[in-house]
Amino acid sequence: MRDRSGRSEPDFEAFARGAMHRLLRTAAFLVDDRHAAEDLVQISLERTARHWRRIGGDNPEAYSRKVLVNLAIDRSKKLKRGRDTPIGSAADLDLLGGTASPPADADADADASGDLAEGLAALPPRQRAVIVLRYWCDLDERQIAETLGISAGSVKTHASRALKTLHGRLTSTSEVPR
């Protein structure tokens, strides 16, 4: 398909196939519910498809990720009002995308990832989004600010508060009583 300038427009289906796994992993960390993550990715891709001609040549993954984060934040607000009951977790999703057998120290890794998942789940939606976008999606402060529609200073504040909370939760759960 060609746009008005005669350039070839990227194919939405190829984009969706290439980005779906990354978006699904991001959503799983944002909502800690595999089924809800799948739903949010579907909605995000549907909205991206609807606006494909406008965004296809730019950065469609950034657009989809922005929609995804906003949907996750909205979902979190609805959960606080008691409209949905989450089932499953991010741990249910094969985050590595493979079917390799777990390493020998998988129990320790599972405990650590469970603590991290619990810590992420305890964060307010905006702080959780900043942490996932920064450390999972590897976005810089400017990109996170653009995605969330906030200032770079707010990104720093949310990140600082979230990291302090996570550090407190993870160090208090990892201490062994004597």
At 85, which CATH number? 1.10.10.10
- The mean pLDDT value for 51-76 works out to 89
Residue 7 lies in a domain: no
Domain membership of residue 75 as a residue range:
12-96+105-174
Please, what is the average pLDDT of the chain? 79
For 8-34, b where at least 16 C-beta lie within 10 A, e where not — what string? eebebeebbeebbebbbbbbbbbbbbb
CA–CA gap between residue 105 and residue 103 (Å, rounded): 5
Q: How many CA atoms lie within 13 A of 57 on its CB side?
A: 11
Residues 2-24 pLDDT 10s = 445 443 456 889 999 999 999 99
User: What pLDDT is attached to residue 6?
Assistant: 42
pLDDT in tens, 23-59: 999 999 999 889 999 999 999 999 999 999 888 677 8
Choice between 141 and 81, residue whose per-residue pLDDT is larger:
141
Average pLDDT over every residue of 59-67 = 92
In a domain, residue 41? The reply is: yes
More confident residue, 81 or 26: 26
pLDDT at residue 97 tops 80: no
Does the model's pTM come out above 0.75? no
**Does residue 18 fall inside a structural domain?**
yes
pLDDT of residue 59: 86
- 5: in domain: no
Return the pLDDT at 9: 54
